Amino acid sequence: MMLLTYLSVSLLALTGLSAMILSIAKALADCPEKAPRAKAAGITIATGFLAIGGGAVLLIGALATLKADLSLLVFTMGLACVVLGLGFTQAVTTLRAVVDAGPAAKPLPKSEDLQVQMEPVLA
């Protein structure tokens, strides 16, 4: 019963945070310039979050099976929420970094426009 409670809470949090990553990516895709990057990054990052978060939920669930104690159950649920929250923060930060374009690159000057300063090597 305790393991079922842990798994239901943890997997609900994992699913909710994954859906939130996808909805943030969908909101960022409203801009036509950012849409392709936002869609691709959102799906990729949400999939990675599900895989890593699912592994973390299972590993912490193994800890919950050691002893049938209410305090251990509460500890494992809290640990899972903290781990998933930290992963969510990193995932959204990565999503925003991918979608937001960096500063525009300056065009390189043509070789005819360059003036090279020549200084004598020997005095």
Tens digit of each residue's pLDDT (9 = 90 or more) over 49-102: 999 999 999 999 998 888 888 888 899 999 999 999 999 999 999 999 888 865
CA distance 37 to 44: 11
Average pLDDT score over the chain: 86
Domain boundaries, given as residue ranges, for the chain: 2-99
The burial of 34, by beta-carbon neighbours within 10 Å (0-12 exposed, 13-18 middle, 19 or more buried), is given as middle
CA distance 123 to 97: 51
pLDDT at 117: 72
pLDDT at 66: 83
Which tokens belong to 94?
């990565």
What is the pTM (predicted TM-score) of this model? 0.75
**Which of the two residues, 10 and 114, has the higher pLDDT score?**
10
